[in-house]
Amino acid sequence: MFEPFLFNDRINMIDFEKLKSILTENNSFLLTTHVNPDADAISSELALYFILKKLNKQVFIINHSATPYNLEFLDKEKQMQKYDPALHDKLFNEVDVIICLDFNRANRLAKMQNAFMNSKKLKVCIDHHQDSEKFADHFFVDQDYSATGHIIYDLIKKTSIVKLDYNIAYQIYAAIMTDTGSFRFERTTPEIHRIIAELLELNVDPSEIFDEIYDHSKISKIKLLGKALDSLTLYGNGNKIGYMTLRRKEFEETGAIESDTDGFVNFSLSVEGVCLGILFIELKEGFKVSFRSKGAIPVNKLAAEFGGGGHTNASGVRFFSENLDEFVDKILSRAEKYLA
Ligand code: 5GP
Ligand code: MN
């Protein structure tokens, strides 16, 4: 089994010229992202796809998970393929370069991890999360970026690899809008607003993209949100932790699916005084825990205690065959230690 090796130091210098040369000097590319992809994951892949197509390259986008239904509109050309070992394992050894977007640990590829690790082809990681594992040949990683899509924007700006056009701008807007929590998280800087202004000047319509992503929910999702909110419990000294739990039964009762839970955890931080929010989700296979925090509480470190990761204020972890109740108590008591 692959031994994880973590970079000790923060990596925050991206050599964009090097990235440009990898993109221009090779001919075929496989783009991929993490299990249960969010909008930044999908849009970064598509933005890079459009760049590579402008350079007349051969491009495949292969993801472990199907695209969530509210993000399908992003893939207007239907380029995204759901991983099928029989169809795609060969491809991992045929393309010149494999590019991982929006994640930094091989286990985020879930069932695709073996095909990836066994490939001898050049591996590239483009990402903005902390604590990268050394699972690729080249890293273009900087945790100060608001989104992986923001890194793609800078690739264009700093190297002029192609001209920024509407199709690319559309994806970059979706990536930055969602990963900044609609322009409210910490990395929402004057620079971000200047970038957004440029994207709007290319005719990107912000209400269209917001509406597609957030206001096309199935009723099952909203019913499931109701169940999550109903489960909200305050915990710890001073009630500073808010946690919610979703069980299989509640997915069955509402007809909702796993990807419908995207964003639910944020509601735990809406309660006055709560600065650490947790959502426990029972999946078809195993469990997922999402963490959110305010200020300097490093929930990526909390997630890392259990084998997960992420950012200072947003992190997560998956367990494959554990009993959730055991973990709820353990995680809550570890979470309390982060409040000091
Ligand atoms: P979410 O809770 O929205 O699924 O994820 C929040 C953040 O935590 C994301 O930036 C994501 O990359 C990271 N994250 C979520 N689940 C995992 C996991 O299982 N492992 C790692 N390393 N990071 C995760
Ligand atoms: Mn991201």
Q: Judge if 119 and 255 occupy the same domain.
A: no
- The rounded percent of the chain whose pLDDT value lies above 70 is 96
Per-residue pLDDT reduced to its tens digit, 229-287: 999 999 998 999 999 999 999 999 999 999 899 999 999 999 999 999 999 999 988 89
Indicate if ligand 1 lies below 6 Å from the C-beta of 277. Answer: no
Q: Check whether 1 has a pLDDT greater than 50.
A: no
Residue 256 sits in a domain whose CATH number is 3.10.310.30
Residue 104 CA, closest ligand 1 atom number = 22
Residues 25 and 170 in one domain: yes
Question: How confident is the model over 29-52, as pLDDT tens digits?
Answer: 999 999 999 999 999 999 999 999
- Residue 186 Cα to ligand 2 midpoint, Å, equals 14
Q: Give the model's confidence band at 323: pLDDT under 50 very low, under 70 low, under 90 confident, else very high.
A: confident
Do residues 303 and 327 share a domain?
yes
Work out the burial of residue 327: count CB atoms within 10 Å of its CB; fewer than 13 is exposed, 13-18 middle, 19 or more buried. middle
Return the pLDDT at 7.
59
Query: Degrees (nearest 5) of the Cα angle 50, 55, 57?
Result: 85
Q: Which of 195, 213, 231 is the last residue of a domain?
A: 213
133 and 171 both lie in a single domain: yes
- State mean pLDDT over 210-227: 97
Where among 213, 228, 244 does a domain terminate?
A: 213
Minimum-distance ligand 1 atom for the alpha carbon of 317: 19
Banded pLDDT at 11 (limits 50, 70, 90): low
pTM for this one?
A: 0.92
Each residue of 139-163: pLDDT tens digit?
A: 999 999 999 999 999 999 999 999 9
Contacts of 42 (CB under 8 A, 6+ apart): 33, 67, 71, 74, 75, 80, 174
- C-alpha 100: how far from its chain's center? 11
Q: Is the pLDDT score of 8 beyond 50? A: no
Q: Are residues 238 and 154 in the same domain?
A: no
Pick 1 or 182 by higher pLDDT.
182
Mean pLDDT to the nearest integer, 109-136: 95
Q: Give the residue, by CA position, lying nearest to ligand 1 atom 2.
A: 290
Please check the confidence at residue 171 and state whether its pLDDT lies above 50: yes
Q: Give how far the C-alpha of residue 111 lies from the chain's centroid of Cα atoms, to the nearest Å.
A: 17
Closest ligand, as measured to the CA of 315 = 1
Reply yes or no on whether the pLDDT at 5 is more than 70.
no
Residues 60 and 203: their CA atoms lie apart, in Å, by: 27
Q: Could you tell me if 202 and 231 lie in one domain?
A: no
Can you list the pairs that 301-308 forms with residues at least 24 positions away whose Cβ atoms lie under 8 Å? 301/338, 302/331, 302/334, 302/335, 302/338, 304/131, 305/334, 306/331
Residue 323 lies in domain: 219-337
Over range 127-134, report the average pLDDT.
91
156/240 same-domain check: no
Average pLDDT taken over every residue of the chain: 94
E strands, 34-121, are: 58-63, 80-82, 97-101
**Is residue 223 domain-shared with residue 187, that is, in the same domain?**
no
Ligand 1 pocket member 316 (CB < 6 A): yes
> Are 108 and 190 contained in the same domain?
yes
Number of domains into which the chain is organized:
2
Q: Which of 213, 238, 256 is the last residue of a domain?
A: 213
97: β partners = 29, 122
Is the pLDDT score of 110 beyond 50? Answer: yes
Most ligand 1 atoms within 8 A of CB, residue of 107, 108, 300 to mutate: 108
